[in-house]
Amino acid sequence: MAENAGTSGTTSNNGNSVGFKEQDQLLPIANVGRIMKQILPPNAKISKEAKETMQECVSEFISFVTGETSEKCKKERRKTVNGDDICWALATLGLDDYAVPLKRYLLRYRELEGEHKPAANHDKVAIVDNCNVEDGDNMGPLI
Amino acid sequence: MRQAGTYSGILSGGISGKTGPHLLPLARIKKIMKKSGEDVKMISGESPIVFSKACELFIKELTQRSWMVTMQGKRRTLNKEDVASAVMATDLFDFLVNLVSESGNSGEAPPPLELDTFTSS
């Protein structure tokens, strides 16, 4: 199956398309699939179309929340969207279960910014990930 | 001076401590944010990092909910209809309803669960 560079690979064999997005508007399918696998039992399988759907949903999630944050910044006459705005937007949109752990995550990230020399962002993310933001925060256990 | 292992030890962990780095590409997140609207002019350095975590939580929640639908159907392969069903069954994911409908949900998915009772606060 030929892949068109830069265009969406989300069209399945039977012609149904998840939605047409350029690949650079989606997070990489490998990364998305990896995160999905983390939460599923070891013997679970994920169809390629399910991963593609998830890619689309995540991009929509980012756009949806960013829309809220940019509205807020506009009203407050600020040009720069920051982490607090994102946490606020999540809470406003009913996603408190994300807003609370993310605020902690953000605080920890800012502490590290002050403590260490400027490291690559991925170093700081890994360190912050090692602290107390658990997947199960404010979310019920999987039955 | 950096101590050996201070960063590499953590980096070789990952959130579960079992897998390698699981990061989502920050530049791509930033690109998606910018495309979401003309009003998005400037984005602080921490924003894609916060979103990276938020996306991780989002993917995990939607995957968990989708998996419940898969199990209801006594299957082991999570398919896109399961994702669509999970979206339909969760008020919080209303913003995704049009997106998953466009994907041509066949309507043969099992009736939506009351998934909002799944999370306990």
Structure token digits, residue A110: 């800012």
Asked whether the beta carbons of B47 and A86 are under 8 A apart, the reply is: yes
Q: Does the interface ipTM go beyond 0.85?
A: no
B64 Cβ contact list (under 8 Å, min separation 6): A39, A139, A142, B118
Amino acid at site A136: G
Residues paired with residue B78 on neighbouring β-strands, in sequence order: A46
d(CA B90, nearest CA chain A) in Å: 12
Which residues of A fall within a CB distance of 8 Å from B14?
Answer: 126, 129
| pLDDT above 60: residue A133 | no
Are B99 and A94 in contact (CB < 8 Å)?
A: no
Lowest mean pLDDT among A33-42, B34-43, B63-72: B34-43
pLDDT of residue A113: 80
| pLDDT above 50: residue A17 | no
Check: CATH 2.60.40.180 for B26-35+43-102?
Answer: no
Asked whether the beta carbons of B63 and A53 are under 8 A apart, the reply is: no
Are B78 and A35 in contact (CB < 8 Å)?
A: no
Can you tell me the distance from the alpha carbon of B77 to that of A20, in angstroms, rounded to the nearest whole number?
24
* Cα end-to-end span (Å), chain A: 39
Q: Identify the residue with better confidence: A66 or A140.
A: A66
Are B15 and A31 in contact (CB < 8 Å)?
A: no
pLDDT of residue B112: 55
Chain B residue with the nearest C-alpha to that of A116: B2
Q: What are the residue boundaries of the structural domains of chain A, listed by start?
A: 26-116
Q: What is the pLDDT of residues B55-101, one digit of tens each?
A: 999 999 999 999 999 999 999 999 999 999 999 999 999 999 999 98
pLDDT of residue B113: 61
User: What percent of chain A has pLDDT above 70?
Assistant: 66
pLDDT of residue B22: 44
Q: Identify the residue with better confidence: A19 or B66.
A: B66
What CATH number does the domain located at A26-116 have? 1.10.20.10
Q: What is the pLDDT of residues B7-33, one digit of tens each?
A: 443 333 333 333 224 479 999 999 999
Cross-chain CB nearest to A46 (options B44, B78, B92)? B78
d(CA B87, nearest CA chain A) in Å: 10
Q: What are the residue boundaries of the structural domains of chain B, listed by start?
A: 26-35+43-102
What stretches of chain B show up as alpha helix (H) in DSSP? 8-11, 26-35, 46-72, 80-89, 97-102
Q: Which range is most confident: A21-35, A47-61, B4-18, B29-43?
A: A47-61
| pLDDT above 70: residue A123 | no
Q: Identify the residue with better confidence: B77 or A19.
A: B77
Can you tell me the distance from the alpha carbon of B94 to that of B86, in angstroms, rounded to the nearest whole number?
11
Can you tell me the distance from the alpha carbon of B72 to that of B69, in angstroms, rounded to the nearest whole number?
5
